[in-house]
Structure 1
Amino acid sequence: MAESRPPDPAARGSFSRALLVAVMVAVLYGAILLAVDGFVSLLADRDVISEADAGPLVGPVMAVAALAIVFMAVLGGLRPTSGPPRVPVGRALTAAILVYALSPLAGAIVFVLGRGNAATAAVFYGSCLTSPFVIGAAVLALVTVLLLPAISLARSRAR
């Protein structure tokens, strides 16, 4: 009877490290997204969510949707590979497209739940696609995921 081998501690450690790094990168992405939205709002003299009847949860839900997409892209991109780290251009473009398309969709869903009118939610979704805030979130997601090789090379040490 073949004995089962214990799990490799290095593999378990690499997943927990990847999970920790993905959480830290997602939190950093959220903080930078909040700062960029604030500066764009200040410079453009425009609200992040311009519809007065959108409700208070639309903006945060859109930001959380973008944050979740970036978290999953970073976590998937930190898998151990053999050889030198490659720049994940495809993963970065996919994350940016998903942030661009799905974060306004999440906002539109919350908008229709609060308002109850699907036609205005469709107009809201369309207006979000041209918003500098959604475009900025997508560009920031692209840059964040493109920096994965540099992030994965960073090492921490106990002091």
Structure 2
Amino acid sequence: MSEQPRQLPPPSNPALLPVLATVTWAAAVVAVSGVISLLTDRDVIDYPDAGPLLGVAMVVAAGVLTWFGCWRGVRASAPWAVALLTALGSFAAFVVVGAVGYGAIRASGAWMLLAAAHFALSPFVLAAAALSFLAAVGTWALSRPRR
């Protein structure tokens, strides 16, 4: 009887790790936002006329930038510059999408500037940007070959 040759698993898809990191980032943003909301007794989007989709649009925009940062981080030799740019991009996405979205709802440029300042100082946005930094560093660390 001859033994069957041992088959190796197929190579993993290089885009899978950044996707999983981004999905984990999104779940962590929801969880951390809930905890911050409970601790500060504040709504995540505290403009009552903003509607239900403004926060979702903000997270989706920052999620795209987080995925891109994780994807670039896998190919980097050190994670710090990519992770910092990912966090800054995520922060900017939250602020810009929030300000433009709320400015469009209110149909006023003055409200857009007020919303930009409001979102820039929000602990929810700062926490999500910090989580983007951690996602990029974590993706880089998990993509390193094991010794």
Pick the TM interval, shorter chain.
Answer: 0.7 to 0.9
Give distance in 1, aligned partners of 2:27 and 2:14: 20
Q: Is the 8 A contact 1:77 1:91 kept in 2?
A: yes
1:10-159 equivalent positions in 2, closer than 5 A: 17-79=13-75, 86-153=77-144
Q: Is the 8 A contact 1:55 1:111 kept in 2?
A: no
Give distance in 2, aligned partners of 1:49 and 1:127: 10
Amino acid at match of 1:37: S
Give distance in 2, aligned partners of 1:47 and 1:57: 14
Secondary structure in 2 aligned to 1:72? helix
How many pairs are equivalent? 136
Q: Is the 8 A contact 1:99 1:138 kept in 2?
A: yes
Unaligned runs of 5+ in 1: 1-12
The structural deviation recorded for 1:87 is 3.1
Secondary structure in 1 aligned to 2:43? coil
Amino acid at match of 1:108: A
Give distance in 2, aligned partners of 1:48 and 1:152: 33
Q: Is the 8 A contact 1:19 1:75 kept in 2?
A: yes
Unaligned runs of 5+ in 2: 1-10
CA RMSD of the aligned region, Å? Answer: 1.8
Give distance in 1, aligned partners of 2:78 and 2:32: 24
Q: Deviations over 1:8-66 (max 9, x none)?
A: xxxxx56xx22111111110000011000000001110001111121211111111111
Give distance in 2, aligned partners of 1:87 and 1:34: 28
Give distance in 2, aligned partners of 1:154 and 1:39: 35
Q: Deviations over 1:115-139 (max 9, x none)?
A: 2112111101101111000000111
TM-score by length of 1: 0.78
TM-score by length of 2: 0.84
Per the alignment, residue 4 of structure 1 pairs with: none
Amino acid at match of 1:96: A
Percent of residue pairs bearing the same amino acid type: 35
Label 1:149 to 1:102 Cα distance change in 2 as closer, same or farther (>3 A).
Answer: closer
The structural deviation recorded for 1:154 is 7.5
